[in-house]
Amino acid sequence: MRPFEFHRATSLDEALALLARPEARALAGGTTLVDLMKLGVEAPGLVVDIGRLPLDGIAPEAESLRIGALVSNSAVARHPAVQAEFPALAEAILSGASGQIRNAASMAGNLMQRTRCPYFRSHDWACNKREPGSGCPALAGADSHHAVLGTSDHCIAVHPSDAAVALLALDAAVAITGGDGVREVPIGDFYRLPGDTPEIETELRPGELITQIVVPRTALAAQSGYLKLRGRASYEFASASVAAAFRLEEGRVVEIALALGGLGTVPWRDPAAEALLVGHPLDAARVDRFCDALLASARPSAGNRYKLDLARGAIHRMLTRSLPC
Ligand SMILES: Cc1cc2nc3c(=O)[nH]c(=O)nc-3n(C[C@H](O)[C@H](O)[C@H](O)COP(=O)(O)OP(=O)(O)OC[C@H]3O[C@@H](n4cnc5c(N)ncnc54)[C@H](O)[C@@H]3O)c2cc1C
Ligand code: SF4
């Protein structure tokens, strides 16, 4: 690990001022950042410990649930309001990592975690995300865990967060605080496609922090669920995952939201595809049409084409499950 300056922030203003320095990184639970520093993938000149800032607490308000950036993944998953009103979020969190990691991991850190692409995580390989312009060995290499949606000729790394997929289906937003105040960015706009700048992953700017996650309280959200398919039953990232919520009246869809994980360079959702289901029963043929539309832009290789079948199976399972009355 390269030498670095360490500062424990005692106020939000102090943290934001320090984080405006280009060499600075925020440290929350450390379960991603410290790993990457040990691997030499991240080498910040300044580490700003934000762990003591008052960014905790889960506050149910009339129209939304506000989750502090530093609330642990475990605390969110076991919170009664999350379990009752946003089951997809609780299930997504509990499907990830391990109990110990979820205890240490913060919610904002979860949303900001970096890809698990093995080339990115090893200095033995070039990587456009780690070192812009150096190349992407995954394009011609082992790519069975890589993305098929939202890819570019510069990067095909899959987005790793389970919680982000659930939050996308739940129409959540992140509250970002910077020198100019607070802005709320919908999760659907927060992550950037890799394009030709895969090193830029989110809309977060230097000198800003995620301070809250805002999840709208809706009847639809309470019907949500999360299904994760992966190589082993625990301690494994998604090969394909689905967060879905829908509401039927007289057997026909009146509202639906569905997000995919494990396939995209960003958590994936397509409102135009969802519109194809509204007004119709969720029969196999209609769900197939939805999958065709949702996956139409996929660019699979021989190594990761299997993810399309996994996603279709998971979508069918989630859309044909029976809902609690
Ligand atoms: C073995 C292992 C298995 C895992 N499996 C899964 C899994 O299956 N599914 C899954 O979703 N995740 C998984 N994870 C990832 C885990 O959820 C993340 O490591 C964790 O959520 C990161 O939170 P943290 O607080 O430790 O972040 P840190 O490591 O402290 O920070 C991570 C990043 O977020 C930034 N950051 C932190 N807080 C803020 C903030 N408030 N505003 C802006 N930026 C911020 C940091 O600067 C850093 O870049 C796994 C991790 C490990 C180690
Ligand atoms: S897929 Fe992206 S992260 Fe992985 S090696 Fe290529 S550029 Fe790097």
The pLDDT tens digits for 100-121 are 999 999 999 999 999 999 999 9
- Phi and psi at 53, nearest 5°, equal -75, 150
Q: Provide the pLDDT for residue 322.
A: 63
Taking the centre of ligand 2 as the mean of its atom positions, its distance from the CA of residue 125, in whole angstroms, is 10
Low-confidence stretches of the chain (pLDDT beneath 50):
325
249 backbone dihedrals φ, ψ, rounded to 5°: -130, 125
- Identify the nearest ligand to the CA of 131 by its number: 2
Q: Is the CB of 157 under 6 A from ligand 2?
A: yes
Rounded CA gap, 16 and 100, in Å? Answer: 29
| Ligand 2 binding pocket includes 290 (Cβ within 6 Å) | no
pLDDT at 324: 53
Question: What pLDDT is recorded for position 2?
Answer: 83
H-run or E-run covering 182: strand 181-186
Confidence at residue 325, expressed as pLDDT on a 0 to 100 scale: 47
* Binding site membership of 138 for ligand 2 (Cβ less than 6 Å): yes
Q: What is the pTM of this model?
A: 0.98
State if residue 198 touches ligand 2 by the CB under 6 angstroms criterion.
yes
pLDDT at 252: 97
The per-residue pLDDT for 104 is 98
pLDDT score, position 233: 85
CA 34 to ligand 1 center in whole angstroms: 10
